């Protein structure tokens, strides 16, 4: 078994859960962009360090963000804009 794939599988759920908690807090009422950026940065650093393939990390990240209760309660236009923002942030942070 590829050691890289195994470590990536173990790290991804933990990174997703941690990021979900922090993004929920950042999106609770008014969007806290600095907290959102910090949560995304930490997520990207965790998955990159554990060598999670970027396409796998991004798919799990976007699924998690899309399913946050704090996202579901927003208007479609705001949800779309926030999803675009955090997706861009995650890609930029992963490749830093």
The three-state DSSP-derived secondary structure of 12-65 is HHHHHHHHHHHHHHHCCCCCCHHHHHHHHHHHHHHHHHCCCCHHHHHHHHHHHH
Closest CA relative to residue 48, chosen from 93, 79, 18, 85? 93
Residues 21-58 pLDDT 10s:
888 888 876 778 899 999 999 999 999 999 999 999 99
Q: How far apart are CA 13 and CA 42, in angstroms?
A: 14
> What's the confidence (pLDDT) of residue 14?
86
| 65 vs 24, higher pLDDT | 65
> What's the confidence (pLDDT) of residue 33?
87
Q: Which domain holds residue 51?
A: 3-94
The domain total for the chain is 1
51 exposure class (CB count in 10 Å sphere: 0-12, 13-18, 19+): middle
Q: Rounded to the nearest 5°, which phi and psi values hold at 31?
A: -70, 120
């Amino acid at each position: 078994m590829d050691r890289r794939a195994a470590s990536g599988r173990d790290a991804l759920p933990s990174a997703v859960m941690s990021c979900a908690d922090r993004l929920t807090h950042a999106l609770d009422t008014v969007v806290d962009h600095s907290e959102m950026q910090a949560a995304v940065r930490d997520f990207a650093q965790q998955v990159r360090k554990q060598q999670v393939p970027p396409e796998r990390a991004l798919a799990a990240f976007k699924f998690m963000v899309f399913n946050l209760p704090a996202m579901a309660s927003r208007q479609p236009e705001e949800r779309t804009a926030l999803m675009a923002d955090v997706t861009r942030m995650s890609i930029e942070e992963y490749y830093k």
